Structure 1
Amino acid sequence: MADIVSPDIRSRMMTGIKGKNTRPEIAVRKEMFRRGFRYRLHAKELPGKPDIVFPRFRAVVFVHGCFWHGHDCHLFRLPSTRPEFWKTKIDRNRQNDAKSIEALLSSGWRVAVIWECSTRGKKESGLLSVADELQSWLKGVGKTLDIRG
């Protein structure tokens, strides 16, 4: 199927997609703040610049978009236009994610990944459910947490 906009317009549209302060990330942050949790945002000194850092619990949270991080859910579909470019890009994102998580774990941080599909889409868990799970994990002792839709 041909694209309905010109390559220049498509490029401008894709450039405008935010990497931080996304809707799912803001929703999770607001709910955790409402529950009394305090955090830092996008700590540049930590590997991968985690979206949310809970220093008191020595825990970090990545809120991943299913498309950009190649999640195996209904929200991810490899584009049919320039598939080799997108496959390479998404594979590189996955490798960077794995490296960041490994570096954080080896330096004593606990790591949670919340996928976009857990907060929106056909199989969403719901924001309150996601926040409940994150809250339990923060107060617990588990090293990693993966919340999917």
Structure 2
Amino acid sequence: MLMVTRSDIMRAVKRAHTGPEVAVRKLLHSLGLRFRLHRKALPGSPDIVLPKHRTVIFVHGCFWHRHPGCRYASTPKTRQDYWLPKFAANVERDARKSSQLKELGWRVLVVWECETRNDKGTLEARLRREFGLPDSAAASLRTP
């Protein structure tokens, strides 16, 4: 029988090019927005960087980054002495990196994993608002 350890499971957790991140990238591209990925020169290596709009986007997993009020942000029942400080450090680091980016003149957006799972029309509408794009109904009226 093959034993899978916790460290094996944790090692398998992807850092970049996750499903939610790819979904956001596809949506941004379909809206005509062009971007760069994982700029290590910026604090926190944002998932998506839109230099033209001076905006960075972090695509956060609800579990790891503790999305408030989200059902996916559950806390494991075992080893809470390990998990709670780890979650707190993630949230603190997110806030610190966001603050550093804002000091450098960047606008910081966070897209939560659950936003990419649920109604994608809501996420599209949010991104259209954030970047001053016409809503999809108005855009379809102008299309010849």
Percent of matched pairs sharing the same residue: 44
The one-letter code sitting in structure 2 at the alignment partner of 1:11 is: S
Alignment of 1:103-142 (within 5 A): 103-120=100-117, 124=118, 126-139=119-132
- Segments of 5+ residues of structure 2 without an aligned counterpart are 134-144
Corresponding position of 2:5? 9
Paired residues of 1:27 and 1:127 also in contact (CA < 8 A): no
* 8 Å contact kept, 1:28–1:131: no
Partner of 1:130, secondary structure, is: helix
Pairing 1:48-87 to 2, within 5 Å after superposition:
48-72=44-68, 73-87=70-84
Q: Give the CA deviation at 1:118.
A: 1.4
Q: Report the counterpart of residue 143 of structure 1 in structure 2.
A: none
Kindly report structure 1 stretches of 4+ aligned residues shifted beyond 3 Å. Answer: none
User: If you compute each CA radius of gyration, which structure gives the higher value, 1 or 2?
Assistant: 2
State the 1:10 CA deviation.
2.5
Instruction: Supply the AA of the counterpart residue of 2:80.
Output: P
1:21 aligns with 2:17: yes
Question: Quick one: which amino acid aligns to residue 51 of structure 1?
Answer: D
For residue 139 of structure 2, what is the aligned residue in structure 1?
none
Structure 1: gaps of 5 or more residues: 141-149
Q: What amino acid maps onto 1:116 in structure 2?
A: E
**How many residues are aligned here?**
131
Give the Cα–Cα distance (whole angstroms) in 2 for the partners of residues 49 and 93 of structure 1: 14
